Structure 1
Amino acid sequence: MSSPSLTQAMDVVGRVAAVASEQAPQAARASAVFEELRKLIPFDAAEINTLHPITGEVTPLASVGYDSDVLSHLHSQRFTELMKALALPITGRPVRMKDLPGDPFDNWAVGDVLVPAGYSEGLTMCLRTTDGRVTGVINLSTTSPEHPSDIARDAISSLCSVLANMADQTQSGKWLSMLIGSGQSAVGISADGNPIALPGLPDHDLFKPGSDLISYAHQNASMNSWSSFIWPQDLNDDMFRIRVMPCRGDNQPMSAVISLDIADVGPLTHRELEVLTLAANGLSNLEIGAALQISSRTVGSHIEHILDKLGAPNRAAAAARAITEGLILGQVKRFD
Structure 2
Amino acid sequence: MHAADRVSTRHPVSDRLIDLLGDLASLDAPDEAATAAPQLLERLAEDGGAAACQLDTALTHADDLQAPAFQTVASVGYSPEVSSHLRAELAPSPHGRRVLAATGGLRIDEDDPFHFRGSDHYREVLHPAGYDDGISIALRDPGARLVGLLHLSARSTRDFAPELVGALAPLGRAFARLTTVATCSSPDVTLPPEYAAVRLDAAGRATPVVGRAPLHAALDTELLGIVRSILGSGTRFATFLHQQAGRLVEVRVHCPSGRAATHQPCTVATRPAASTLGLTLRQLEVLTAVATGAGNREIADELCLTQRTVAAHVEAILARLDTPSRAGAAAKATAAGVLLPSADPESVRSLARVLGRPVT
| Alignment TM-score, normalising by the size of structure 1 | 0.51
- 1:22 corresponds in structure 2 to 27
Structure 1 letter corresponding to 2:169: S
Q: Secondary structure at the match of 2:167?
A: helix
After superposition, what is the alpha-carbon deviation per residue over 1:262-310, rounded to whole angstroms, capped at 9, x for unaligned? 85697423646878xxxxxxxxxxxxxxxx9xxxxxxxxxxxxxxxxxx
1:73 and 2:85 correspond: yes
Is the 8 Å Cα contact of residues 45 and 152 (structure 2) preserved in structure 1? no
For residue 170 of structure 1, the aligned residue among 172, 184, 189 is 184
Q: State how far apart, in whole Å, the 2-side matches of 1:162 and 1:142 are.
A: 21
Is the 8 Å Cα contact of residues 123 and 139 (structure 1) preserved in structure 2? yes
Q: State how far apart, in whole Å, the 1-side matches of 2:167 and 2:123 are.
A: 27
- 1:105 corresponds in structure 2 to 117
1:184 and 2:188 correspond: no
How much does 1:63 deviate? Answer: 1.6
How much does 1:166 deviate? Answer: 0.7
- 1:255 corresponds in structure 2 to none
Q: Secondary structure at the match of 2:147?
A: strand
For residue 15 of structure 2, the aligned residue among 11, 16, 33 is 11
Q: State how far apart, in whole Å, the 2-side matches of 1:42 and 1:149 are.
A: 5
- 2:314 corresponds in structure 1 to 269
After superposition, what is the alpha-carbon deviation per residue over 1:173-229, rounded to whole angstroms, capped at 9, x for unaligned? 66477769867259xxxxxxxxxxx99699xxxxxxxxxxxxxxxxxxxxxx94443
- 1:48 corresponds in structure 2 to 55
For residue 231 of structure 1, the aligned residue among 277, 280, 290 is 277
Is the 8 Å Cα contact of residues 50 and 159 (structure 2) preserved in structure 1? no
For residue 131 of structure 2, the aligned residue among 104, 119, 132 is 119
Q: Which shifted more, 25-34 or 41-50? A: 25-34
Q: State how far apart, in whole Å, the 2-side matches of 1:270 and 1:32 are.
A: 60
How much does 1:163 deviate? Answer: 0.7
Is the 8 Å Cα contact of residues 94 and 124 (structure 1) preserved in structure 2? yes
Q: 1:115 to 1:264 in 2, by over 3 A?
A: farther
Where do residues 1-336 of structure 1 align in structure 2 (5 Å cutoff)? 6-7=11-12, 9-20=13-24, 21-22=26-27, 25-55=32-62, 57-82=69-94, 85-86=97-98, 88-98=99-109, 101-146=113-158, 148=160, 151-168=163-180, 169-171=183-185, 175=198, 184-185=238-239, 226-231=272-277, 267=310, 268-269=313-314, 271=316
Is the 8 Å Cα contact of residues 129 and 160 (structure 1) preserved in structure 2? no
Structure 1 residue ranges without an equivalent (≥5): 187-197, 203-224, 233-238, 242-261, 276-291, 293-324, 326-336
How much does 1:139 deviate? Answer: 1.1
Q: State how far apart, in whole Å, the 2-side matches of 1:60 and 1:117 are.
A: 19
| Alignment TM-score, normalising by the size of structure 2 | 0.48
Q: State how far apart, in whole Å, the 2-side matches of 1:155 and 1:129 are.
A: 17
Structure 2 residue ranges without an equivalent (≥5): 1-7, 63-67, 190-196, 201-213, 217-222, 228-236, 241-251, 257-270, 291-298, 300-309, 323-339, 341-360
Q: State how far apart, in whole Å, the 2-side matches of 1:82 and 1:127 are.
A: 18
Q: State how far apart, in whole Å, the 2-side matches of 1:274 and 1:83 are.
A: 57
Q: Give the share of equivalent positions with the same residue, in percent.
A: 20
After superposition, what is the alpha-carbon deviation per residue over 1:151-180, rounded to whole angstroms, capped at 9, x for unaligned? 422302222121111112025866477769
How much does 1:31 deviate? Answer: 2.3
Q: State how far apart, in whole Å, the 2-side matches of 1:25 and 1:137 are.
A: 20
